[in-house]
């Protein structure tokens, strides 16, 4: 199993964010490699959040949108990830509207 898949499974099981350094140490990878893996997961549509509290997986739209806004405000290097989060939020919002409408 790929490292990023193992990290994704781990984050899905956690109820709280984990610090980037602790997550990198747990999987015996550098923080730079971890950043790349997290970006890949976002590109593949997984809602991976990061903030001062750490890294987490969530489908909470408020958290996703707050993270997107913060990433857009912090500079060019975060614009790509912010764009992925915007797309993820749209998919989750669409899925929730389908459930509310009774279609799902």
- Quote the domain boundaries for residue 35: 3-100
Contacts of 93 (CB under 8 A, 6+ apart): 61
Q: Work out how many domains the chain is built from and give that number.
A: 1
Residue 23 scores a pLDDT above 90: yes
CATH number at residue 71: 1.10.10.10
- pLDDT for the residue 99: 66
Residue 35 scores a pLDDT above 60: yes
Write the pLDDT tens digit of every residue in 70-97: 777 776 556 667 777 888 888 888 887 7
What sections of 1-104 are H helices per DSSP? 3-13, 20-26, 31-43, 61-73, 79-100
- pLDDT for the residue 95: 80
Q: ∠ CA 17-20-22 to the nearest 5 degrees? A: 90
């Amino acid at each position: 199993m790929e490292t990023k898949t193992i990290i994704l499974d781990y984050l899905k099981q956690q109820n709280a964010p984990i610090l980037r350094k602790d997550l990198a140490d747990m999987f015996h990878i550098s923080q730079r490699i971890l950043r790349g893996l997290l970006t890949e997961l976002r590109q593949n549509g997984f809602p991976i959040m990061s903030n001062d509290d750490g890294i987490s997986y969530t489908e909470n739209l408020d958290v996703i949108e707050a993270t997107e806004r913060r990433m857009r405000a912090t500079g060019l290097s975060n614009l790509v990830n912010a764009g992925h989060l915007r797309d993820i939020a749209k998919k989750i919002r669409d899925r929730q509207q389908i459930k509310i409408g009774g279609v799902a």
